[in-house]
Structure 1
Amino acid sequence: MAGAPEAPDAAEAADGFDAVVLAGGRARRFGGGDKPGAEVGGRPLITWVAGAAARAGRLVVVGPPRTGLPDGATFVREDPPGAGPVPALRTGLPLARAPWLALLAADLPFLRPAHLDRLLDEARRAGAPGAVLVDGDGREQWLAGCWRTGALRAALDGYGGASLRGLLGPLGPVRVALAGDVRPPWYDCDTPEALARAEDLAARPGP
């Protein structure tokens, strides 16, 4: 007897998304250490980001394999390792299969699933190719955004530069500002000083 048809997974759903996390940079401003493995609030930065993308159909990490991430996570490396965010995206994007993709840095300790939901909702509502968080000064945070996978592929096909801003800016994403957060979701930990401040923010009372 034939069983009931399987429900489509998140990657096959019309509004599903995958996530590509860039975790293989050289972390020069961080002193060359393992920035994704640095801890805030008792957890490595990259596990906070993986948690924010928990509803993704597929989690692709462009960086060295590491423990503590979901069992289904896929690890790939750009060639050469540490070549920059555009080569890293070129390496990770072919593994995405969902119609939407969250493109994320590995050092965002305050990013949560609700923030990705907001980005996706804003992009869909506007009929835009994507949506990106902006910081308190109104600057786009190109590694905290959600995009139509097809739009990213098309943009990469015709792009010879090395800047994420140069790649993503011309797509005209929705700019999403989330005011009033004690712990801003766009906050990244590029330096040891930023990491120390993140630890302080994590300890403060707030929602």
Structure 2
Amino acid sequence: MGGADKPGLRVAGRPLIAWVADAVSDAGRVVVVGPARPDLPGVVTVREDPPGSGPVPALRAGLAEVRAAWVAVLAADLPFLRAAHVTALLARARQHGRGAVLTDDSGREQWLAGAWNGETLRGALSGYRGASLKGLLGPLGPALVGAAGPRPPWYDCDTPADLDAATGM
């Protein structure tokens, strides 16, 4: 996105991160990894080290602030994610015992749209030296949760074209 604050970009007049925060508004504690978000009161904000170093360091930093047994791990750019999707992920993760991730229309895992047992994540992170979320989470064998529709919850906004398409959906 050319250095723009991607979570702060807007879909339907709201920052992308606000849509995701709404999807977890029932959580006891919401942890955001990245710069402070004054427009999201009550969230705990932490930074990965070094800032901008990727999803694995971000997960490590965020998980250090998690106190719950089960955690939703979500990208900040999912404008169509809703509380019902997070509830379904958490229910399936608990049933499975380790974790669950959304899959897109082609059945591909969406590693930044999942729910996990916190201890399982901590154990996987403790010995992981790679940079890939798939490399970290894939071996955990999560349950797969399909979600389709005209406004898919796994849809992320990685490019200006993605953002424009989301605005038109």
User: What per-residue deviation string (whole Å, max 9, x for no partner) do you get for residues 92-135 of structure 1?
Assistant: 11110000000010000000000000011112223x30000000
| Amino acid in the other structure paired with 1:198 | A
Offset at residue 65 of structure 1 (A): 0.5
TM-score, normalised by the number of residues in structure 2: 0.97
| Amino acid in the other structure paired with 2:71 | L
Give the CA RMSD over aligned residues.
0.8
Counterpart-to-counterpart distance in 1, 2:95 and 2:116: 13
The aligned runs of 1:62-141 (5 Å cut-off) are 62-69=33-40, 71-126=41-96, 128-141=97-110
1:188 corresponds to 2:127: no
Counterpart-to-counterpart distance in 2, 1:66 and 1:199: 22
| Amino acid in the other structure paired with 1:185 | P
Match of 2:32 in 1: 61
Offset at residue 158 of structure 1 (A): 1.1
User: What per-residue deviation string (whole Å, max 9, x for no partner) do you get for residues 28-77 of structure 1?
Assistant: xx1111110000011000000000011111111110002221x2201111
Match of 1:42 in 2: 13
Q: Secondary structure in 1 aligned to 2:26?
A: coil
Q: Secondary structure in 2 aligned to 1:160?
A: coil
Counterpart-to-counterpart distance in 2, 1:132 and 1:145: 4
1:155 corresponds to 2:124: yes
Percent of aligned positions that are identical: 64
Which structure has the greater CA radius of gyration?
1
Match of 1:23 in 2: none
Q: Secondary structure in 2 aligned to 1:122?
A: helix
Offset at residue 142 of structure 1 (A): 0.4
Counterpart-to-counterpart distance in 2, 1:132 and 1:150: 17
Match of 1:14 in 2: none
5+ residue gaps, structure 1, are: 1-29, 202-207
Match of 1:12 in 2: none
5+ residue gaps, structure 2, are: none
The 1:79–1:122 alpha-carbon spacing in structure 2 relative to 1, beyond 3 Å, is same
Offset at residue 174 of structure 1 (A): 0.4
Match of 1:170 in 2: 139
Number of equivalenced pairs: 169
Q: Secondary structure in 1 aligned to 2:73?
A: strand
| Amino acid in the other structure paired with 1:173 | P
